[in-house]
A and B are shown apart, each in its own frame.
Chain A
């Protein structure tokens, strides 16, 4: 019967949906592995408030590693702090969501503990076996790990978020155990791409543009009105990002972000295997493309073969009418 330690990522004291997903998955894993504890770890500086908040989400306890040295995430720094905590608690599993931070950090934690790691799991079997996607999601692999300590990262779209309850678990503050000789990385800066729109990982509706938009100007004048009329997050195919139409953090796909919103609208996207890997679990998929042979139509619930430069503005107007009816 093993305990699970969840790395609860926070952004300036706020918990994104991706963290609440990890908490939920951690609770499920602990239950299925014999009823051990699910302990949440929050790492950073001045984190009293988020630690207290996290305690309401059904975990057994929250450990806050609170120190000015931990203000900025760095792989070697956080790996040291988290593994020392994991060892001290004697947990069997360490779990995090496969965000950019989770992907960067968790394998380092695994190696530090000589633990195997299952990346981006999408389900937890009753017997503790884990399922993860391979070959751009064209195969689901059932994996087993045989080691006293195991590391898991979860795909954010595959689990529900933990819900807050009335009772609060105890919160413990701990000083991080750090070996400064092993810390060799320096945070220089973060060029944040600010947006008023919902985040791709959290939005109920995602509207993505592909190379068919032809320019970054068209993304602004043609696609963005649709995105905003629907209150959606904006995504893009790799081709659109490579062509410089939009920044990299909008890329949806096998090696970009994986999303599964209620509605995914693909505009001017042909539907390469690698793009499908990032959105084929969306509840409803709409495709607008002037090429009726485009592979995207094979996964779309509703396909419109049309010139997007006509269809998208028409759709914006039609949606305005629905709103006002």
Chain B
């Protein structure tokens, strides 16, 4: 049962960590797909694809860890949430198929001018992003649970709030994609990425504001979590930090410090994510199932904890090495596709 630090809480943090690493790593490469229609020239698109081709597969593996880890550590939550999010999850999977195969397929088609795999990459990225954002909103607003089952319909997820979170995530991923291009490209392509970053930053701040205002209206618990005394001492720094990071980002964009905007945008994501955690904890299915109710037995969680403790640092190590190998600016025709 609930202790200060028990193994179920540890696992909640591990799953949250896996999902966050997924957002950090796949967010920008989904964002590149969202921006693809704005870069119609083939040379630009080649560079954009080249900047993630060696790492995209590793990025998506974190999504598999999030799903697989949820099933292993919190099987009840997995069993309730997946049917509740049925349509968005299927849509996300289909989107990921189209964009995932595009990395190789676009080089294999002979119709280079109007490459339909470029459309698949952009469309698949958009579908997957919207679906993830909608799923997030659908979880936050809560799902109908009876006993150990999801008891709602297959369109319950669709509400104005989930549409809002879907669009908000798309704006956020697009900003990550634009600032990634600032980091990884040069010349005219980079300048256009800067231009887009300005616009997208304001859009993202608006989106964060809109979701933050809408969330407390979903459940009285969210309102109490954020605004009741003494919680507010702990919650107030989050929006203050968002404002501070936004100022730093604006400064980096106007001074054209290439390496900063991407990491500052990630910080914005981390803060929004922390806000999400503050809203949800200790529920894994908001307002119905807590992490302790959903947890698999200690023998299962402990067995995996050993592996996680040894392997996650190792994974982060060789993933960092792979990024290091392909570090620096990507130039047209620079040797890997």
Partners in one complex: no
B interface residues (Cβ-Cβ under 8 A, vs A): none
